[in-house]
Amino acid sequence: MFTRKANLTTHLFDHLSGEERAEVRQGWRHGCYFCTKHFKSLSYLSCHLVVHTKEKVGGRCHVCRKTFSSKLGMTNHWFAHLSEDEKVVLVKQGSSRECLFCQKKFPDNATYHAHLVSHTKEKPFRCDQCGALFGRNGDLKLHARIHTSNPKPFNCDECDLAFSQKPHLARHKKTVHRKLKDCACPECGKKFGTKSNMVQHVDSVHAKRRHPCPHHCGRTFANISNLGRHLRKIHPPE
């Protein structure tokens, strides 16, 4: 359900096939100066242009000083710095959402509904090339790159590695080339290059959390990646 007809129209675009979207875009008047994409309004074109110009027009986070290419990006990032009590206040004010299943809180409707598919397991987005199904349109768009001539368009300028996503390239440069470790463990202060590595450390070292093999072979693992390697090697799918 939507509060404005324009939001419903935008949402319906997600349900169109690739051919139908191309036909609709042909009628849009505002073309990008750098690529072949067209947009129905100047505001959408302006938001898209920062992808090419790399401008950070969304502002700078006053907590960690990170800059953003859009106001929405900065707002969603700023939400992550809030305490749980502050998030509860925003939910009560109606400016944020709380998940009905796990009570996790989100800055807006878009991120909330994107999260819901992790519980409902819905996969409404189908790849028109191979038929693979996805819960979010963004995941479908990332998948679609494997069907292009350049599935890894983001090249590291310091080595010969390439990545399918820009955040993966940024993480690689930060942890491998800059050796930056800015995620500190809240228990012992040990620093890590990524938040996921820090969380794995907390789970295995401080919380003593173990991940048992679902095939009941008796093996348990300190982190989920080691369990994944075990499953691929010892219990490969038929």
Which residue, among 193, 200, 151, has the nearest Cα to 175 in the 3D structure? 193
- pLDDT band at residue 142, thresholds of 50, 70 and 90? confident
Instruction: Write down the H helix ranges in 65-150.
Output: 71-80, 84-93, 109-120, 137-144
Per DSSP, 190 falls in state: -
How far is residue 46's CA from residue 30's CA, in Å, rounded to a whole number? Answer: 10
Asked if residue 61 belongs to a domain, the reply is no
Query: Average pLDDT for residues 186-194, to the nearest whole number?
Result: 87
Asked if residue 32 belongs to a domain, the reply is yes
Query: Average pLDDT for residues 97-112, to the nearest whole number?
Result: 83
Asked if residue 212 belongs to a domain, the reply is yes
How far is residue 229's CA from residue 218's CA, in Å, rounded to a whole number? Answer: 15
Using CA atoms in the order 55, 51, 174, 68, what is the torsion angle rounded to 10 degrees? Answer: 50
> What share of the chain in percent tops pLDDT 90?
4
Q: Which range is most confident: 35-39, 59-63, 123-127?
A: 123-127
The two tokens of residue 95 are: 């400016």
Residue 158 has pLDDT above 80, yes or no: yes
Which residue, among 85, 86, 82, 76, has the nearest Cα to 63 in the 3D structure? 82
Q: How many domains does the chain have?
A: 4
Query: Average pLDDT for residues 49-53, to the nearest whole number?
Result: 71
| pLDDT given at position 206 | 84
Residue 75 has pLDDT above 80, yes or no: no
Asked if residue 67 belongs to a domain, the reply is no
Who wins on pLDDT, 81 or 189? 189
At 134, phi and psi to the nearest 5?
-140, 150
Distances (CA, A) of 177 to 65, 116, 169, 197, 198: 21, 36, 11, 17, 19
Same domain for 210 and 155: no
Same domain for 189 and 172: no
Same domain for 123 and 90: yes
- The pTM of the full predicted model, rounded to 2 decimals, is 0.47
Expressed as residue numbers, the domain containing 126 is: 82-147
